[in-house]
Amino acid sequence: MPRYAEFDRVALATILRAQEHVISRQQALGCGLTRAALGWRTGTNGTWQRVLPGIYLAQTGVPTVPQLEMAALLHGGAGSVLTGRAALHGQGLIAAPSRRFDVLVPTTRRPGSTAFVRIHRTTRMPRGVIREGRRSYALPPRAFADAARSLGDLTEVRALIAGAVQRGDCPLSALARELREGPIGESAQLRQVLGEVADGVRSVTEAEFRDLIKRAGLPWPKFNARLFTADGVYIGRPDAWWPREGVAVEIDSREWHLNPADWERTMRRHTRMSGHGILVQHFTPRQIRADRATVVAAITDTLAAGAARPALPLTCRPAA
């Protein structure tokens, strides 16, 4: 680049510092860089690289996730907002960074999806956002709902949404509101999973167990209900509970019992429930997925045994 080329170095440095060293062509030209100067900087011997059409990273090397986020937002234009898994990762709500960056823009905008950016034109631009410098993220309810709509696998949707509610990352009521107000298309799995969570289902395996019960035509239990003696002493909270028959099912998985202490508490709960006359059945996730007939037969037999005796003097309350 010729030495006599003049541009506003201070303005350029300010933009690059604020935008993770990412800049749009329009911004660069606004600082006084010419198209020839841009071509020189992004050429073979230049120190800039093109990451999207008209969007540049003013350094060499592999772009970081924040730099890719900034590039996606610049492609979307002023006021655009990251949503879905990209927004969840940006807020520290999921660990794995997204390979695709979903960006919300008003319907009046016309940017197209390209490379790692997927544009969503919407009449429901978020009223509130979380800002990190010049990067904008949709709030958790919108981000979780949009992420769920983008997933094709029901198991992934269950893990995402049930995990969010269980960890307290997002209230169930807020997700339900997003379901009501959002697009109907691609929302069927989100609707199913929210129904499961509302019924007390708290894990992917529990949701698969729910499917097994429904398909087998077994009586419908209460999920994660809290059990008490007649005088109000707490007994436990099995994964599924049939009140009339006094039958409980526990899904034993170290995936959800995260440490030995949790596992031991599960075993103590089994002993406590059995001591009150509850018929307890234990199944592993593998049995629920691969040996469904055996699981159904065991539950059917246990329900029959429970129905043949007087009802237990126990009460239950919905999952907290």
Q: Which domains does the chain have, with CATH numbers?
A: 9-62 (no CATH), 66-198 (no CATH), 215-317 (3.40.960)
pTM, entire model: 0.75
In this predicted structure, the answer to whether residue 3 has a pLDDT above a threshold of 70 is no
Sign, Cα dihedral of 126, 129, 135, 137: negative
pLDDT at 172: 92
CA distance 72 to 118: 9
Neighbours of 276 (CB within 10 A): 16
* End-to-end Cα, the chain, rounded Å: 67
163-to-137, 213, 259, 261 alpha-carbon distances in Å: 20, 22, 17, 21
312 DSSP assignment? P
Query: Which residue's structure tokens are 């907290």?
Result: 320
Cα-to-chain-centroid distance, residue 271: 35
Find all residues with CB under 8 Å of 138, minimum gap 6, and list them. 81, 82, 83, 87, 104, 126, 129, 130, 146
Segment 108-161, tens digit of pLDDT: 999 999 999 999 999 999 989 999 999 999 999 999 999 999 998 999 999 999
In this predicted structure, the answer to whether residue 257 has a pLDDT above a threshold of 60 is no
Segment 17-36, tens digit of pLDDT: 999 999 999 999 999 999 99
Q: What are the residue ranges of helices labelled H in the chain?
A: 9-18, 25-30, 35-41, 65-76, 84-90, 140-150, 154-167, 172-181, 188-198, 204-216, 260-275, 285-290, 292-307
- pLDDT band at residue 308, thresholds of 50, 70 and 90? very high
3-state DSSP assignment of residue 219: coil
CA distance 168 to 49: 41
Write the single-letter amino acid at 262: D
